[in-house]
Structure 1
């Protein structure tokens, strides 16, 4: 069976399992469309939509368009009983698989999933929406008696943490904290009790990821005390794992939040150095590259050009190595490295070269998860334009950054934006600078 035939068969199986005829499916989709607020005059007829459903399931199937994908997502994103279920093994997960077979892009499927996660949080849903029914039951049993934890519990908790992490930039950070909190508590309770020995290392790895993400979210919501405490737990848990690359990732995340929540570079530098030590002794070359890049940025911020360039050279070397089997292969890329190169050029190099690096870095950040980093890069790009003697063009770019931050939120881009605006003070009486101030006040209240 070819890819499209597999997708069509999966769509048909989903419909039949719900006991829906073609006409029933059409009526349900029209009802969902009305509930979502589509104008009544633009709704299809039952007969017309029924033909569309049949085409999606035919021997020469077509891919549902974006609007119909959203309607199908709302249909299969709930169980027949009406509860939201988006996790592995759910009908919604099968729908995404079917759409992938029919030719839909991974980016579009990620966006579709984000829309449904947003819907879950809009209606007060939380972690349970990200778990299948069977896993919910297994997790409940494990929390009551950790010795009953089975092989499904750990990957399910890991999937929740990954799901929440994937929504950074798409959902407000407070919502993400609410989504993550039950998984965080489950990790705490299970690692503290007598889970089966075979599960403990994997469970501890999930706990490290959950506490690191929670530390980042606390930082974004300006709770620096809670953030430091969460990073402390993550560091301790990671220290109990056999490979130190995961502790390196904790140090890097902690270093970045420290860079923006404390005065001076000393504490951030200490954490970055610890990350390099752990990464060099660990099994992930990609994490090692990222650690060297972070050390380069901190050196550049301190005005240490030679040290920054040396660290960037090490990062480039590591990225050029073979990453087959790397446990964190997707965590750092040439596009991310260009962003670090731009920051180093901005502080201890040439503003024009920094600008070029930022343009290339932003162009590589297309995934929904990367929109927050794209906003940060754009603010740095504007700063480079100011130093190149083009303040008005910088202000135009900062307008785009304001719009991006209104969508994504984030403490770091907000700090970077205010810094770039301060560098525009010599032109504060220009009408385009006044327009930017008005925009900042309207959107961000600052």
Structure 2
């Protein structure tokens, strides 16, 4: 961490305090109040004088010191609300500026993520923070459409990403509450007069908003609302120019939900076909590869081996294609050989090659360091278990399903649950065996 970055972070901390009209003593008292609200043991509460000395070290003009994790938590809860007491975590808020300042001073990404999760969990559990992630610029544009500009669309997209980042970390019902004001803000902005230059950005943000709303409705078992949200996302995507990555991606998001709902693999395959058609016009090879990979896996599930092989061939071609000089896909979207291997394994699973599928799935790397990685690893384990059942090894399959339950994150998604249920149904011929009944009892306890 460069010294200049640390000094800049300290200056940002000082500016935050001064903008609120807080002296060192006033800020120390405010932090002590946060500690009391968070029920810190009285014996561990620092003194006002001690906190003033700490503040001086954090804000030092030439050799600042990064606040300890405990003090970072107090600062986070202090700046998570406006001076008037309203929750505010969105872009442009004091809370966001605090995280940037701490990052400059050397706080790691994992620690900052934990801070955001801790504060978000505390605020939303109180039931009073429906607008906690609505950026200030968006609120201003809702009150005065003349203030709608590029920053509003960008902040709307960022707010959606912040909610999406909490998938598998917070209860889905709570995430719905967090997203609700963003959905309503999107509707209001789309209904008002939008400058021509802002139309693509606003429609792109809206697609992301309604796709996530559809996913969350699905996770809370409201399939009718999920379909309505995805229909709106599709309408917004069609207003984007041909070649936009969001035109195929909205279909892929919808296909994932359809596959695990009552709609089933047939509807999911139709959505994947629509995604592949749209992706054909997209210059981003990662988007094309994802679309064809999903189409291949769904065609295999539906018993169409030839279509699966054709789509896999196209995905393989795009896996090794260089990206366009001007990236057009969503930030961070990649498709590499490991993703291709995963789709190939799923296709083999449904085309009568379970042992090969198991071996391929065993080589798929996973990152279980966070909840998103844990969820994906749990799904891969269920696919491997299915392969073992079809290869005639039910006992080993049951052991893998136990491991999958151990791996799944605390707020297990409906998608992960459905995958485990599918694998469990593969064990029906052995339902009287003790190792199957034991697994069944645990599934009832864990998933219900």
Q: State the TM bucket, normalised to the shorter chain.
A: 0.7 to 0.9
Structure 2 portions without partners, runs of 5+: none
Q: CA deviation at 1:277?
A: 0.9
What is the count of residue pairs matched by the alignment? 441
Name the CA distance, whole Å, in 2 between partners of 1:172 and 1:17: 35
1:119-171 superposed Cα distances (whole Å, 9 cap, x missing partner)? 332122455322344542332223xxxx6534433223222222222222222
Q: CA deviation at 1:355?
A: 4.3
Structure 1 portions without partners, runs of 5+: none
Name the CA distance, whole Å, in 1 between partners of 2:294 and 2:238: 21
Name the CA distance, whole Å, in 2 between partners of 1:217 and 1:317: 33
Name the CA distance, whole Å, in 2 between partners of 1:321 and 1:306: 23
Match of 1:120 among 120, 123, 134: 123
Matches within 5 A, 1:400-415: 400-402=403-405, 405=408, 407-415=410-418
Inter-CA distance 116–400: structure 2 relative to 1 (3 Å threshold): farther
What's the counterpart of residue 149 of structure 1? Answer: 148
Whether contact under 8 Å (1:269, 1:298) holds in the other structure is: yes
Q: Say yes or no: does 1:207 pair with 2:210.
A: no
Name the CA distance, whole Å, in 1 between partners of 2:158 and 2:427: 44
What's the counterpart of residue 256 of structure 2? Answer: 256
Whether contact under 8 Å (1:342, 1:353) holds in the other structure is: yes
Whether contact under 8 Å (1:379, 1:417) holds in the other structure is: yes
Q: Secondary structure at the match of 2:67?
A: coil
What's the counterpart of residue 105 of structure 1? Answer: 108
Whether contact under 8 Å (1:365, 1:374) holds in the other structure is: yes
Name the CA distance, whole Å, in 2 between partners of 1:338 and 1:66: 41
Q: Say yes or no: does 1:73 pair with 2:88.
A: no
What's the counterpart of residue 233 of structure 1? Answer: 232
What's the counterpart of residue 11 of structure 2? Answer: 9
Q: Secondary structure at the match of 2:33?
A: helix
Q: CA deviation at 1:113?
A: 1.9
What's the counterpart of residue 382 of structure 2? Answer: 379
Name the CA distance, whole Å, in 1 between partners of 2:152 and 2:299: 42
1:283-319 superposed Cα distances (whole Å, 9 cap, x missing partner)? 3322111101101211222344554344334324323
What's the counterpart of residue 35 of structure 1? Answer: 37
* Mean Cα deviation higher: 419-428 or 242-251: 419-428
Q: Say yes or no: does 1:297 pair with 2:297.
A: yes
What's the counterpart of residue 221 of structure 1? Answer: 220
In angstroms, what is the RMSD of aligned CA positions?
A: 3.1
Whether contact under 8 Å (2:292, 2:314) holds in the other structure is: yes
Inter-CA distance 369–141: structure 2 relative to 1 (3 Å threshold): farther
Q: Secondary structure at the match of 2:127?
A: coil
Q: Say yes or no: does 1:346 pair with 2:345.
A: no
Name the CA distance, whole Å, in 1 between partners of 2:263 and 2:150: 45
Inter-CA distance 338–173: structure 2 relative to 1 (3 Å threshold): farther
What's the counterpart of residue 266 of structure 1? Answer: 266
Name the CA distance, whole Å, in 1 between partners of 2:15 and 2:355: 56
Inter-CA distance 164–28: structure 2 relative to 1 (3 Å threshold): same
* Mean Cα deviation higher: 132-141 or 67-76: 132-141
Whether contact under 8 Å (1:339, 1:357) holds in the other structure is: yes
